[in-house]
Structure 1
Amino acid sequence: MSHATRVRPAVAGQPGIHPTRHAVPWALGAGVVGVQIAFPLTGGGTPTLTVLAVVLFACASVTHALLTRGPAAAVGLVVVAGGGGLAAEAIGLATGLPFGQYAYTGSLGAAVLGVPLVVPAAWIMMAYPSLIVGRRLTAALGRGRGVTTVLGAWALATWDVFLDPQMVEAGHWYWLEPWPTLPGVPGIPVSNFAGWLLVALLMIAALDRVLPDRHDGDDRLPLALWCWTFLSSTMAAAVFFGRPSVALVGGLLMGVVGVPLLVVLSRRGSDA
């Protein structure tokens, strides 16, 4: 066989090798975007839309991990992010540590240890793309695993600057002592952000050891979903939900990794 006609062997997880199989997480991701677009059209979302958005996003993250990194990675993601998120929330409810004193209202459905099941699913949905964001920026910087943990944790924790005000206003949970607050984010104690950052550091560090870093894998979906969350959350807070200060603070904090990530991705697209 001549060199011109030789067929290059397929590489598991390489972009374009299994278009039908990889359509599943992409379809789930498209569903996430569609449901989240409906939030401002319903005055900030309904409990059903909230649960649906989280479930679709979590399934997109888990199926992407399964298809690009294997069954053990998918299970590890659920155990570390879902189990870790559940444990952190249960401890938080019982002790007030590390987030502060808060309580759920019961509007989000079935719960375990007082924690709605959708909440650990939310940790799963966002921890995975945050890990990928940390890895992509670390690779661009030429740094080591510790930098991945810090950047990935920041990518995860800063998302809550947008999440908490929206969920409190929707009546899904409330703070017993909502002070002192994060500047520009009224009603949400600064301890919540500190707690999120602590849990995120532990969670991303664990995930970085459990999930293989496949450089030949197609990580466009988790990167796209994280960027969508960053940009759409900023716009929604500023334009649709009447929270310009939250848009400013959240956009700046999430932008610490979001802006460099967009630059890295745009440069890679230009090179390609």
Structure 2
Amino acid sequence: MRHRLVWVAFAALVLAEIGYPLVSGPARAHLTVATVLIGFAVSVAHAAVSRGPRAAAALVAVAGGGGLAVEALGVATGVPFGAYGYGDALGAELLGVPLVIPLAWTWMAWPAWLTAGRLARGVAARVAVAGLGLAAWDLFLDPQMVAEKYWTWASPRPALPGVPDVPRSNYLGWLVVAVALMALLAAVPDTRRPGPDAPMYALYLWTYASGVLAHAVFLDLPASAAWGGLGMGLVAVPLAVALLRDRYPRTAPRQARAERRISA
């Protein structure tokens, strides 16, 4: 039953994100905040249901607390992302950081961590893949949010081709921080309970596919659609392939042919 509620919350998240291109102005900012709140709830709820309340608390402490700390440092000093500042559209702030920002770190940290667990073997490899999986999301996120003026960069050069308003240092900073957060998350014992991680796989793949579609078609951000499709695809595409292989194993026809030969 509790896993079904996670799926219901995920469906609400999908509907909220579908609505993003359909609104503008203050309504879009409010919907952005609501989307982050729902995404945060989905990931934390799944962590609690599938790994227990201690794991959920650790996720919030590591990704949310760590995200807030590094964002506060970034706003105050420009390290490690570059010099930037937030507008007032995203609501209440703490230490110069809108409170929804660390919630967004938490939202995507969990599916990135579980996706890496599906793809990588060994703690070091999992931390690296999870860090990449989380950091690559910003190839979609930052251009989209900067276009709405939710935050702005003081010196956005040098930048990726076609994305002139976000410095390359931001993406490198994200990667370093994401790997560090995943290394901390790796220290939390994995006490898995009965139930699927499928909702988080679906969340990661939905974030990837919807990011490519929205940026390319609805938001007039074709360059970030390409960069995000490339960067996040390094994790999302192997995940999709692995899940398809689980569902349609190539060994099944071979086994069937072998059984027919034996029975003959």
Alignment TM-score > 0.5, same fold: yes
Q: Distance in 2 between matches of 1:215 and 1:253?
A: 32
Q: Which residue of 2 aligns with 1:40?
A: 21
Q: Distance in 2 between matches of 1:216 and 1:30?
A: 22
Q: Which residue of 2 aligns with 1:260?
A: 238
- Deviation per CA, 1:20-61: give whole Å up to 9, x if none: 221221111111100000011125971110011100010000
- Deviation per CA, 1:211-262: give whole Å up to 9, x if none: 5163854100111001000000001111111111111111011111111111
Contact 1:234–1:247 (CA under 8 A) maintained in structure 2: yes
Q: Distance in 1 between matches of 2:117 and 2:161?
A: 29
Contact 1:76–1:211 (CA under 8 A) maintained in structure 2: no
Q: Which residue of 1 aligns with 2:35?
A: 53
Shift in CA distance, 215/70, structure 1 to aligned 2, threshold 3 Å: closer
Q: Which residue of 1 aligns with 2:114?
A: 132
RMSD: 1.6
Q: Which residue of 2 aligns with 1:148?
A: 126
Q: Distance in 2 between matches of 1:71 and 1:90?
A: 27
Contact 2:6–2:42 (CA under 8 A) maintained in structure 1: yes
Contact 2:73–2:79 (CA under 8 A) maintained in structure 1: yes
- Deviation per CA, 1:140-172: give whole Å up to 9, x if none: xxx211110111111100100110111111121
Q: Which moved more, 1:212-221 or 1:27-36?
A: 212-221
Q: Which residue of 2 aligns with 1:10?
A: none
Q: Which residue of 2 aligns with 1:11?
A: none
Q: Distance in 2 between matches of 1:104 and 1:77?
A: 25
Q: Which sections of structure 2, spanning at least 5 residues, go unmatched? A: 253-264
Amino acid at match of 2:8: A
Amino acid at match of 1:25: V
Q: Distance in 1 between matches of 2:132 and 2:200?
A: 16
Query: 1:184 deviation in Å?
Result: 3.2
Q: Which residue of 2 aligns with 1:220?
A: 198
| TM-score with structure 1 setting the length | 0.88
Contact 1:161–1:185 (CA under 8 A) maintained in structure 2: no
Q: Distance in 2 between matches of 1:211 and 1:25?
A: 22
Q: Distance in 2 between matches of 1:213 and 1:204?
A: 17
Q: Distance in 1 between matches of 2:193 and 2:38?
A: 25
Q: Which residue of 2 aligns with 1:23?
A: 4
Aligned identity (percent) is 48
Corresponding residue SS for 2:164 = strand
Q: Distance in 2 between matches of 1:144 and 1:159?
A: 23
Shift in CA distance, 65/189, structure 1 to aligned 2, threshold 3 Å: same
Contact 2:92–2:98 (CA under 8 A) maintained in structure 1: yes
Alignment of 1:89-168 (within 5 A): 89-138=71-120, 143-168=121-146
1:82 and 2:64 aligned: yes
Q: Which residue of 1 aligns with 2:55?
A: 73
Contact 1:77–1:211 (CA under 8 A) maintained in structure 2: no
Aligned residues: 249
Contact 2:50–2:194 (CA under 8 A) maintained in structure 1: no
Contact 1:132–1:219 (CA under 8 A) maintained in structure 2: yes
Contact 2:116–2:126 (CA under 8 A) maintained in structure 1: yes
Alignment of 1:241-252 (within 5 A): 241-252=219-230
Q: Distance in 1 between matches of 2:217 and 2:239?
A: 24
